[in-house]
Chain A
Amino acid sequence: MDTMLFTGRSIWTMIHGIVFGGGALMALAAALFSLHAMRAATVSDVAAQNQARYLARLMVFTAVLLWLTVLIGTYVNFPPYRATPPEGLTDLAQYPRSLIRSSPGTEWLHSFAMETKEHVPWIAAMLATAAAAVSVRYRSQLLSDRQLNRMATTLVSICLILVSFAAILGIFVNKVAPLE
Chain B
Amino acid sequence: MTINPGSLDKANGAALASFLAAGIGAFATGAVVLLNEAGLFVSPTLYEPAGGVSGRTTLAALIWLIAWAVLHNRWKDRRVEPARVYAVTLTLIGLGVLFSFPPVWHLV
Contacts and interface: CB of A to CB of B under 8 A. Distances in A.
* A and B part of one assembly: yes
Interface of A: 74-75, 78-79, 82-83, 111-112, 115-116, 118-120, 122-123, 126-127, 129-131, 133-134, 137-138, 141, 145, 147-148, 151, 154-155, 158, 162
Contact of B19 (A120, A137, A155): A155
A112 B102 contact: yes
Binding site secondary structure of chain A: helix
Contact of A158 (B53, B83, B93): B93
26 contacts: A78-B51, A78-B53, A79-B47, A79-B49, A82-B51, A83-B49, A111-B102, A115-B102, A118-B53, A119-B53, A120-B100, A122-B57, A122-B60, A123-B26, A123-B100, A126-B22, A127-B22, A134-B14, A137-B15, A141-B9, A147-B82, A148-B15, A151-B82, A155-B19, A155-B22, A158-B93
B100 A119 contact: yes
Contact of B103 (A74, A75, A112, A122): A112
A55 to B, nearest CB: 14
Interface in B15-65: 15, 18-19, 21-22, 25-26, 29-30, 33, 47, 49-51, 53-54, 56-57, 60-61, 64
Given A74-B50, A75-B47, A148-B12, A123 B18 contact: no
Contacts of A162: 97
Nearest to A133: B18
A126 B64 contact: yes
A15 B97 CA distance: 25
Contact of B93 (A83, A115, A123, A129): A123
Contacts of B30: 119, 123
